[in-house]
Chains A and B, each alone.
Chain A
Amino acid sequence: TQLLEQSPQFLSIQEGENLTVYCNSSSVFSSLQWYRQEPGEGPVLLVTVVTGGEVKKLKRLTFQFGDARKDSSLHITAAQPGDTGLYLCAGTDRGSTLGRLYFGRGTQLTVWP
């Protein structure tokens, strides 16, 4: 079983603050994906990172894939209440051609106005 550990588990901040959440594993992944899930809904894909060391930006969100493809981080600049949600990282098996995703337990982010 591929294990992904996310930290912190909970994060409560004020609007305008910056934050970083982490996704770590002892396993190498073919790719890593970040999802956001809101209550009563399914996860929605934010980004996929494939290459070790890759950095992707999505407006105020910056995603980084570790050089060894074992870890990833999500940095949010100037957080807004609309960023509130459960952030999940998910990895795909190294060498596998199938779509099975291994999910971390998630970081529950609350941004207060």
Chain B
Amino acid sequence: DSGVTQTPKHLITATGQRVTLRCSPRSGDLSVYWYQQSLDQGLQFLIQYYNGEERAKGNILERFSAQQFPDLHSELNLSSLELGDSALYFCASSVGQVANNEQFFGPGTRLTVL
């Protein structure tokens, strides 16, 4: 158990819909990262927050948005869902925001878009 929690574990929805994925970081960690893992693209960085502020952005679609709240939990919002958005979405957390801080990954949310 990494100490990072993600809900829900599974999500099945239809194209065009909107979903929210939730992440609670390890106690004491200020950075939250979101990654998408699909069979054709592998594990790809989406976005990083540190203490409530966006710090780095990766290959995140405009239909996707995220935020980190004052209690440090984070939400990833996916809208106008397409079949290709089906993937595993991981949240990770670390103490700081720098490159060599160990990132602890949650168990992931498996999103299926039908």
Contacts and interface: CB of A to CB of B under 8 A. Distances in A.
Contact of B45 (A45, A100, A106): A100
Interface residues of A, number: 25
B56 A100 contact: yes
A99 B97 contact: yes
Nearest to B57: A100
Contact size class for B?
20 to 34
B55 interface: yes
A98 B56 CA distance: 7
Given A42-B106, A98-B55, A103 B43 contact: yes
A80 interface: no
15 contacts: A40-B108, A42-B105, A43-B90, A43-B105, A92-B99, A93-B99, A98-B48, A98-B56, A99-B31, A99-B33, A99-B48, A99-B103, A100-B48, A103-B43, A106-B43
